[in-house]
């Protein structure tokens, strides 16, 4: 396949992920807001909601990512999108906080294969030297979704129901947002299904890295991947507290639903901007140090958010924190893709995501009681400390990364040059 066709395929994947995440960002932000209001502004209920959506994905991630290494990744992505669309239809009919959380948890499981499998597909769609650009495009779509989704969701709730509205009006507004998200997943499924190119190498019955746990084993055998897995997990131990704190933090400034959506939206917008710069500037050689510096700066910015006495300053810091995340996410994806063979790449990505989401689940469990006892600003201080600790954990491996534990031509999932065109023009 020509370079232009590979770029077109990557753009379609990026748009698909951006659209579905925009819908999910709107839906899950609205879900958290509705549960928070229906339960008398309970931070503990908010914590449980986040735990059983984000945290649940961590528990099922090893199986979800295994699907991407065992079966055709395109089919896995399309089926996951369709299943998630059905889940959000069910969410539109939920009427109580308990029903909302249970259906949302099931829906989160249904869409759990998306990120590990989509990320593992990228090296099969584009040449190795263009990986930073490709990962940047996917990150831009993901972070634009994080920017638009929460802001769109909360504004629709305010428009349709009013801030502090009655339960029936809140649930009605939520059903409308959940319906929009259903449409976003259906459109994403169509985009992925019609994208040209191969999403994985040929599958064979005999696998070099068999088993659901192969991703963990491989990640722990490589110092760089091990440092990313452990460091990212420590970082997420702090991030969960911040996620629980965001709505109470906005309430401290008297901003309500609008402020809550704005915090998430500006972080996502900053992350998209960071991904734009990363796509243009990053190279394979720059990825390790970029990841390290971005994580360290992000931790320091979290401290500043907790301290900020001014709402506008807090929002500006959210943008800066997002920019750091944009650079970090593109660099991390490049490192993971370059250091893993195709037949285990989804499971390695899934192992990292599972470890971090389980850490997030632990953090979310503690988030409600901590925020209620110590206040939202303390959560930002703790999150900042954990992020700086993550940077220190990753420092040794990322400052002087050795070669990946495999031969490049065999392990990156890139066909030899003479086979690239044939592989990518084959019918899906």
Q: What is the pLDDT of residue 202?
A: 65
Instruction: Classify residue 416: in a domain, yes or no.
Output: no
How many CB atoms lie under 10 A from the CB of residue 14?
24
Does residue 257 fall inside a structural domain? yes
> Where in the sequence is the domain holding 369, given as residue range(s)?
3-201+210-405
Is the pLDDT at 168 greater than 50? The verdict is yes
Residue 421 lies in a domain: no
pLDDT at 308 over 70: yes
Q: To which H or E segment does residue 353 belong?
A: helix 342-374
The CATH number of the domain where 47 resides is what? 1.20.1250.20
In a domain, 413, yes or no: no
Structure confidence at residue 261 (pLDDT): 74
Q: For the residues 35-48, what does the mean pLDDT come to?
A: 82
Proportion of the chain above pLDDT 90, given as a percent: 25
The reply to whether 164 falls in a domain is yes
Count of the separate structural domains present in the chain? 1
Mean pLDDT, rounded, of the chain: 82
Q: Which of 346, 355, 274, 351 is nearest to 123 (CA)?
A: 346
H helices, E strands: number in the chain: 17, 0
Give DSSP secondary structure letters for 66-79.
HHHHHS-HHHHHHH
The distance of Cα 168 from the centroid of its chain, to the nearest Å, equals: 31
Tell me what pLDDT residue 403 has. Answer: 67
pLDDT digits (tens, 9 = 90+) for 65-88: 888 878 888 898 999 999 999 999
Looking at the domain assignment, is residue 368 inside a domain? yes
Q: What is the pLDDT of residue 198?
A: 82
CA distance 229 to 412: 19
pLDDT attached to residue 204: 55
Q: Is 422 domain-assigned?
A: no
Residue 100 within any structural domain of the chain: yes
**pLDDT tens readout for residues 356-414:** 878 877 887 788 788 888 988 999 999 999 999 999 999 988 877 776 665 444 434 43
What is the pTM (predicted TM-score) of this model? Answer: 0.73
215-266 pLDDT, tens digit per residue, is 888 888 889 899 999 999 999 888 888 888 888 888 888 887 778 778 877 8
């Amino acid at each position: 396949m020509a370079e232009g066709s590979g770029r077109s395929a990557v753009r379609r994947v990026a748009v698909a992920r951006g659209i579905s995440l925009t819908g999910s960002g709107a839906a899950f932000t609205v879900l958290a807001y509705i549960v928070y209001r229906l339960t008398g502004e309970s931070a503990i209920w908010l914590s449980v909601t986040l735990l059983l959506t984000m945290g649940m994905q961590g528990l099922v991630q090893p199986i979800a990512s295994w699907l991407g290494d065992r079966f055709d990744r395109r089919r896995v992505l399309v089926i996951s999108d369709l299943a998630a669309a059905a889940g959000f239809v069910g969410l539109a009919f939920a009427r109580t906080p308990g029903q909302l959380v249970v259906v949302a948890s099931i829906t989160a499981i249904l869409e759990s294969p998306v990120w590990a499998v989509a990320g593992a597909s990228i090296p099969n769609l584009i040449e190795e030297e263009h990986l930073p650009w490709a990962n940047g495009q996917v990150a831009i779509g993901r972070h634009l979704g994080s920017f638009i989704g929460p802001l769109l969701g909360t504004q629709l709730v305010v428009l349709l129901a009013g801030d502090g509205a009655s339960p029936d009006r809140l649930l009605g507004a939520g059903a409308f947002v959940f319906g929009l998200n259903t449409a976003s997943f259906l459109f994403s499924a169509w985009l992925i299904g019609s994208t040209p190119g191969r999403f994985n190498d040929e599958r064979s019955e005999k696998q070099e890295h068999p088993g659901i746990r192969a991703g963990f084993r491989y990640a722990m055998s490589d110092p760089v991947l091990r440092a990313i897995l452990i460091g990212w997990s420590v970082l997420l131990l702090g991030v969960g507290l911040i996620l629980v704190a965001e709505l109470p933090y906005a309430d401290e400034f008297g901003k309500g639903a609008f402020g809550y959506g704005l915090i998430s939206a500006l972080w996502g917008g900053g992350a998209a901007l960071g991904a734009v710069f990363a796509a243009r500037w990053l190279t394979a050689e720059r990825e390790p140090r970029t990841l390290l510096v971005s994580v360290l700066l992000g931790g320091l910015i979290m401290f500043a958010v907790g301290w900020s006495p001014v709402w506008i300053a807090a929002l500006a810091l959210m943008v800066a924190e997002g920019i750091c995340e944009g650079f970090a996410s593109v660099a991390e994806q490049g490192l993971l893709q370059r250091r893993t063979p195709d037949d285990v790449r989804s499971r390695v990505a899934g192992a990292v995501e599972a470890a971090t989401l389980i850490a997030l689940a632990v953090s979310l469990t503690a988030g409600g009681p901590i925020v209620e006892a110590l206040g939202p600003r303390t959560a930002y201080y703790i999150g900042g400390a954990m992020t700086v600790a993550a940077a220190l954990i990753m420092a040794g491996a990322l400052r002087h990364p050795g070669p990946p534990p495999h031969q490049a031509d065999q392990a990156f999932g890139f066909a030899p040059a003479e086979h690239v065109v044939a592989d990518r023009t084959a019918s899906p």
